[in-house]
Every structure is written in structure tokens, then in C-alpha cells.
Structure 1
Amino acid sequence: MNIAIIVAMTKELELLLPLLHNTSRTTVNDYTYHTGTIGHHEVTVMQCGIGKVNAAVGTLTLIDTFHPAIIINTGVAGGTGHGASIGDVVIASAVAYHDVWCGPGTVPGQAAGCPLYFESPLTPGTIERMGADLRRGVVASGDIFVSRTEEVQHILEVIPEAVAVDMESGAIAQVCHLKNIPFLCMRVISDAPGATHDNIAQYENFWEDAPRHTFDVLHRLLEVL
């Protein structure tokens, strides 16, 4: 299967590239693509940049260039304090926006002409076959690095089921929805905003001790596809 994997940041890319074998590198329209194999899959990895616009443009360019059968977004995410702790790996059951409202006829979080939740095609049984200690839940996406308890509270008002927050997966999911390409999201919790601690320090400390094995869960995901 031709699989594409998108990350936002250089640090995420550096953790992911060692998983690739027989690699080559191609540059198209200022994007660098790393192609190779993971198990029996042909895999293309790209770094799109941070935020929804970068994610959407990068995803569309990737689709037009490599025509993947499925797209996976992976990397780090903040926790909401509901169902996932720092270091946990979250497989998204669905992805939604927390910073979108298009007016009458839509609900907060819903892009016009799209569903509120971009559902994952993975079933609970498929996730169980991965044999890893995983969390499953909704990932909420928006153009903000969430650092305050009030921001988490607002996100949960819009998307009550959110267990993690990021800045790219919603846009990637929307492009995949519009292009009829299956989309999966897998995130590692790097920090969790709270009234009694500094989550920015948590985030920085996570990268100092970033456990490579958390990204190795990707191997198990690819094995069940």
C-alpha cells in the first residue's frame, strides 16, 4: 500500500525518519519528501509546517504529487486532561476543529459543507490488534498553542469528547475528506495545560527526553493496515 505520513515539525520528522528503509529524498514545490519502506508498505513522509494553512497546502501538494492510498498524521499534541496523560499515544476516533464557526446552519467546530467530526476508518478491533497500550478519542484542532486552563475549557465546550489538541489534523482531515482519501491521526501527548503547572515547560522537557518508542507505535499501526 502507498501510505503518506505528515508531520508538522522538524523534531517530529527526526524521530520518524529512522523508521524508514531504502530511503530517497525528492523536493517538489519547496516541499521535501522522504520515500522508503516500512514493513511491506511504500511510505512517503513530509513535514508540512505548523498550523492549519500549512497543513492544508502541504496535504494537497502531497496528494497531487504522490497519490497516496491513505494519509496518516502523527506527532505530538497537548492533552485536555480527559482520558490521556503525558507520554500516552492517542489514536483519533475522529478529528474536529475547536476554533471554527461558519454561522447559521452549522454548529461550532463545523466547517461549511463538512461534517463536524472527520471520523477515523479504524475500528476498535483493528486498534486492539496493534497490541499496544493506546488511548482512543477525539483530537481537536485549531490555530493556537493551548497553554491555559481557560483555553482547554473553551475547547471542551465546543468538542466535549476531546482528549487531545493539535494545530494540523483538522485541516489534513478536511482535505482528505474533500479528496476522498482515508485519513488516520496518531498523536503523542507532550503536555497538558493546568492551573498548577507550566505546560510550556512540560512541552520543552518532553522534547529533551522524547521517548522514541512512542513513534515506534507507528510500526504496529502499519502492520494492521
Structure 2
Amino acid sequence: MTQPLHIGLLGAMPEEVGSDLSHLTDLSCSDHGDLTIHRGVWGDNIRLSLAWSGWGKVSAARAATRLLASDPGIDLLLFTGVAGAADPALRQWDVVLADAVVQHDMDARPLFPRFTLPALKQDRLQPQPAWFNWAKTALLEAHSAGDLDGFARPSSGLIATGDRFIGDPAVLQALRDALPDLQAVEMEGAAIAQVAEQEGVPWLVLRVISDGADEAAAQSFEDFVKRYEQKAWRLIEALLQRCNSTPPQCP
């Protein structure tokens, strides 16, 4: 008998997932210090373990570690929320699924090349192709079907993570120079990916553009998040509705 799909869902803030948990049934929760893990069922047989990590790499890594330790058997760790645009062509409500992530503030030179994670001896981390392809296809199908009203057509690309809210054009340009294919910047995704990689769990990072990572970023971010909360769950549900085509789960 196939076990129910179990997804670990994380966002930095409640607004980034949709703080209303009424879309889940059989709800329970557990507290771990100041972190609350909510558990429930979506639809007939998809289990969700959900938490809001707080901002930054340490908070994100802590939440991911606690989630995986508290709920063994998670099939996929998904981090979602908003991000700043690094590619000037991106606008608010554009959707970016990471095909790779990098910690832009990781720099152990001269011992390791810039961006390289010593524990993994890699700079860019990439999601497992089967899970990435499933999510990309599911999002494109949802958009074509009109299930992502208000969101732009999903795309994919490199997302960079660091412990800095980027609202300075000079800082952003320096990152673009160092990472020419960079699409978006945020503060948690690559930390989640590193934890998942080291724990042997598939992961995905899904972001929606909230601002241009420029002088107006702070105000744009605050205004956008208030509107985004009303639509955030729509993006998650687009994936959940298409879980019949997810990669095979480990027994």
C-alpha cells in the first residue's frame, strides 16, 4: 500500500504561506521553544507539516532541522515565500522556482572558492531533477488552467540567499556581476536546501517577486506582503492538486 505523501512546508512569515489553516483537516500542533509545527491533512491523503521559521538563514536552518527531526518520513521539504528581483525583467507577482540556490554571503576564501559550502564542497545546490520537473510542470499547468489568477507565468532560475535584506542598487549590482544568471534574492532558501541536502531529503524553493531589491524595496515589500497573504495558499494548492504525478516515494 502506498504511503500518503508527506510534505514539510516552510515560510519565513505566516503571510508567505497563508496564515489561515482552515484548508487543512485533522489539525494538531507541537511547540518547540518559540517554533510551532502545525500538522494536518489536505484532501484525501496528503500530509502536511508546516511551520513559519522567522527571517534569516539561522532561523530557517533551525526550523528545517526541527521539522525533519520531529516528523520522520517527510518526502519533500518545500520553502516558499517572497523575494526581491535580481533580474531587471522580473516584476511583482512573477513566480520563480529555483533550479539552483547559492548562499551569496558564504565566503571562506582563500580556503575555499567564494560561495562554496565547506560541508558539501559545492557552491550551488540543485533540487533533485524529478521533483523540480514535477513542480515546474504542475505550476505551468496550473497557470494555463487559470488556477494561479493574479500570478505571472512561472519561470525558473538561480536564487541567492543571504542574511541581508537587499535594498541597495550597488549591492545588487555586485551580486549580479558575481552571479550573472541570478534571478532573485532572499534570506532563507539556500539554508533550507543545505539542511535538506545533508539530511538526504528532497527540497524545493519557490518564490514570488515582491520588490526590485532597490531603494524602494522596503516599502514595496511591506505593501506587497499584505496583499500576498490573500493569495499565498493558491500557489501551494496548485502543487497539492497535482501530487498524483510526484516522483516515487521512498518506502
For residues 96-135 of structure 1, what are the structure 2 equivalents within 5 Å? 96-104=102-110, 106-114=112-120, 115-121=122-128, 122-124=131-133, 127-130=136-139, 131=141, 132=143, 133-135=153-155
Q: How does 1:58-207 map to 2 (within 5 A)?
A: 58-67=63-72, 68-104=74-110, 106-114=112-120, 115-121=122-128, 122-124=131-133, 127-130=136-139, 131=141, 132=143, 133-194=153-214, 198-207=216-225
Q: 1:166 to 1:126 in 2, by over 3 A?
A: closer
Structure (1 or 2) with the greater strand fraction = 1
Deviation at 1:105? 5.1
1:46 corresponds to which letter in structure 2?
A
2:68 match: secondary structure: helix
Q: Is the 8 A contact 1:109 1:159 kept in 2?
A: no
CA distance in 2, matches of 1:65, 1:99: 29
Mapped partners of 2:101, 2:42: distance in 1: 25
> Could you tell me which residue of structure 2 aligns to residue 37 of structure 1?
41
Cα distance change on mapping 1:186 and 1:101 into 2, 3 Å = same
Stretch deviating more after TM superposition (157-166 or 183-192): 157-166
Assess if the C-alpha contact under 8 Å between 2:15 and 2:232 holds in 1: no
Contact 2:78–2:204, Cα closer than 8 Å, also in 1: yes
The root-mean-square deviation of aligned C-alpha atoms, in Å, is: 2.0
Identical aligned residues as a percent: 27
- Which amino acid letter does the alignment assign opposite residue 13 of structure 2? M
SS in structure 2 opposite 1:118?
A: coil
Match of 2:150 in 1: none
Measure how far apart 1:128 and its partner are: 2.5
1:218 is matched by which residue type in structure 2? I
TM-score in terms of structure 1 length: 0.89
2:87 counterpart SS class: coil
1:159-183 CA distance string (max 9 Å, x none)? 2222111101111111111111101
Give structure 1 stretches of 5+ with no counterpart: none
CA–CA distance in structure 2, aligned partners of residues 102 and 27 of structure 1 = 35
8 Å Cα contact 1:73-1:184 kept in structure 2: yes
